[in-house]
Chains A and B, each alone.
Chain A
Amino acid sequence: MKLIVNGVEEAIVSPPLTPLLHVLRDELDITSPKAGCQQGGCGTCTVLVDGEPRRSCLTAVATVDGAAITTVEGLGDDGALSVVQEAFYNHYAAQCGFCTPGMVIAATALIDRKGGEVDRDDVLEALGGHYCRCTGYIKIVDAVIGASRGDVEGVRDVPVSVPGEPEVLPKGSPA
């Protein structure tokens, strides 16, 4: 079997019934898709399979043999954040961040699908299967709508970790 993961062709040796999630995390060391509930209920393992968002925990790797897989690692160009990632940052749409990879992937797919501005109902439908236990969703919905409008300021002051120094925390939420 093979997968094209974030543009790179990978030969896969995991058994055919292995969930795509575990192939990505354990065989390919791509760890943005999180192993949350692992029964399809939380959404944080969501990846794009040939452009369509799918639950990687529910997808046997053999069923996507040869497909193009996109994870958060494959978003943005040359290390820059994608528009959706920038919007999540600027709207404080992440707190603990565990759900964020699935949210960002599903939001990216929604905006690609719509090809323009999305409204609140579009976002609720697209993210209806994604749990966030921190933010209360309002900032996430705002971020996705903002990203669809191209309403991002660009990310400034991205915190950088310095070895040996205490971890630099992102600027605090105004809430």
Chain B
Amino acid sequence: MTADVLFPTSADEASSLYGDGTDITVVGGGTILLPEIAAGRVRPGRALMLHRAGLDTLRVDGDRVVIGAMLPIAALLDAPDEALSRVAPHLADREVRQGATVGGNLAAPAASDAHRGDLGAPLIALGARVRSTGAGGDRLEPVEEYLTGDRDRRLVLEIDYARFERRTGTTSLRRRHAHSYSIAAVVACARPDGSDLRVAVSGASPTSVRCRTVEATRDANDVLSDVEPVDDAVASAEYRRAVLPKLVREALDQLELA
């Protein structure tokens, strides 16, 4: 099936084995990749399996929360911030969440019929950063820059964000089935005094998007200046354009800012 399977036992060893990402397939939780391998559509020459690399923890380090790329999404149900703990139960189902990982959710490319990556919005709204390595060396960058940058041959190692008192608004629209990707999902976070407002959208376009215009104007209708909705198997762009301002308004209302 595969010629060479590597089992790093630390993040440093994983980074070293990954190198510049040439001819290596990263196996995180496997929930996206394994069916492709089993069906023969992906045939790794070398596979890097990360389950022993010590990247599966969530820790509070002073005023920062640090999430390893291999943390199962199931663990986010107990995350210390509502942006994550309220969104995580809507990702896939109980069994899949046990295997699927935070890093995989961020790193997975869009599927042929839908756009993955529902954790993008809560992480952007929390102001999270991604630490990755690979071609071009180590990088530490905001999630929104990681998602819109060149993700080819990058290995996600950790995600971190600053902890402070926040209010959180989350809204989403999806079909009534556990495995449906979001039609659109919105997360908004701000300090109780209304400062540091961050708003992000997942599911409506190929990657999650930070809504800087909405953050500046606080007008939900401006979301269509930030997000360019697309057609896919889940919903039409027209429908997404119609519902997005309503979802953003509801998320902002949940913040109960003066």
A residues neighboring B (CB under 8 Å): 15-19, 22, 38-41, 43, 46, 49, 52-55, 57-60, 62-63, 106, 125-126, 128-129
Contacts and interface: CB of A to CB of B under 8 A. Distances in A.
Interface of B: 1-2, 5, 7, 27, 29-31, 34-35, 37-39, 44, 47, 49, 51, 92-96, 98-99, 177-179
A58 B96 contact: yes
Given A53-B98, A58-B30, 9 more contacts: A46-B95, A54-B95, A55-B99, A58-B99, A60-B34, A60-B49, A62-B5, A63-B30, A128-B178
Nearest to B34: A58
A17 B37 contact: yes
A19 B98 CA distance: 15
B92 A129 contact: yes
17 contacts: A16-B2, A18-B38, A22-B38, A40-B35, A40-B92, A43-B95, A53-B95, A54-B95, A55-B95, A58-B29, A59-B99, A62-B5, A62-B7, A62-B51, A63-B49, A63-B51, A129-B94
Contact of A59 (B30, B49, B93, B179): B30
A36 to B, nearest CB: 12
Nearest to A16: B5
A17 B179 contact: no
A22 B34 CA distance: 12
A129 B178 contact: yes
A39 B96 CA distance: 10
A158 B177 CA distance: 35
A55 B31 contact: yes
A57 B94 contact: no
Contacts of A22: 38
Nearest to B176: A128
A49 B179 CA distance: 21
